[in-house]
Amino acid sequence: MTLTSVDYELLLSAVNFLNSDCCLETLPSRTLNSVFSLIPNEMVAFDGFGTDSNYTGNLWYSPPGTVPDERIQLLANLMHEHPFYRDVIIGRRERTERVTHYVSLEEFHRTELYNEFYKHIGGDSQMCSTLVVSPDLYVACSLHRLMTDFTDREWELMNLFSPHLACTFRNAQFVQRVNEEVNQIQTALTAAKFGVIALDFDLRMQNQNQRAIEILHKYFSLSGELPDEILRYVRHHLETFAGDDFLLTARTVGN
């Protein structure tokens, strides 16, 4: 399937919206809205799976209220019937597939999974992209449509878009971890009774507590940079740490 320039513009627009932010809090709205903007459908759902490939629950979906809470457990109980499950979910593969890659829609509509779950949410046909987010989280992004199947063009668009979805999940988790570490550093700096200065890899001051500010103001002429006297001291010890004589060799303890 050859995509047109209009298709690529649509894809780039969805990618731009997806990456308009990097916060974990906005991840649900960015992922859902970007998929909707790319491919028209009745419902988009993001579901999680654990390391043992067991269904861990719905992460988020749109439109809100489409899936009652009691039906989430029903989906978990019947997930093993899904045409994707054995080939994709258990294998933890990153793929984009339509249900009709495995079975016809007629066969799919005869399953208990369809009649008890997907039939009630407009899921006559389905396309799914699976994302390896972390060693502990495997995510399935599923698109659902009434009556008609997804086209080759739509499959190609989603296939190109899904790596961006996976990257956005990982970026949001990374930013969250960094923010938590920064908050921990800020808490430690505030609680310290002595002066503390946090430096980056280029030895530029990133954070300092109130006691450090008071000492720097008292003994040095501040310009927003680490004073030369302290900078020389830090560099000297960094060179010492990097030297061969810093690491002690193993010794045999005599009797």
DSSP conformation class of 49: E
Q: What is the pLDDT of residue 129?
A: 93
Domain that holds residue 109: 5-178
Q: Of 178, 211, 233, which residue constitutes the final position of a domain? A: 178
Q: What is the pLDDT of residue 30?
A: 95
> Tokens 């961006």 belong to which residue?
164
Q: Are 171 and 123 in a shared domain?
A: yes
Distance CA 152, CA 155 (A): 5
Q: Does 169 map to a domain?
A: yes
Check whether the bond before 64 is cis (ω within 30° of 0). no
pLDDT in tens, 97-146: 999 998 999 999 999 998 988 888 888 999 999 998 888 888 999 999 98
Angle of helix 152-191 relative to helix 27-38, nearest 10 degrees, comes to: 170
Distance CA 39, CA 203 (A): 48
Distance CA 83, CA 149 (A): 15
Q: Does 229 map to a domain?
A: yes
Average of per-residue pLDDT across 9-17: 95
For the chain, give percent helix, strand, coil, nearest 5: 50, 15, 35
Distance CA 207, CA 184 (A): 12
DSSP conformation class of 250: P
Instruction: Decide: helix, strand or coil at residue 182.
Output: helix
Q: Does residue 5 have a pLDDT over 90?
A: yes
Q: Does 76 map to a domain?
A: yes
Q: Are 99 and 223 in a shared domain?
A: no
Q: What is the pLDDT of residue 141?
A: 93
Residue 222 has which token pair?
């501040």
Residue 201 has which token pair?
């890899």
> Tokens 């505030």 belong to which residue?
190
Average of per-residue pLDDT across 150-177: 93
Q: Of 148, 178, 208, which residue constitutes the final position of a domain? A: 178
Distance CA 55, CA 139 (A): 10
When divided into structural domains, the chain yields a total of 2
Q: Are 116 and 221 in a shared domain?
A: no
Q: Does 63 map to a domain?
A: yes
**Beta strands per DSSP E along 151-200:** 197-199
Cα R_g (the chain), whole angstroms? 27
Q: Are 32 and 101 in a shared domain?
A: yes
| AA letter at 217 | H
Model-wide pTM > 0.85 = no
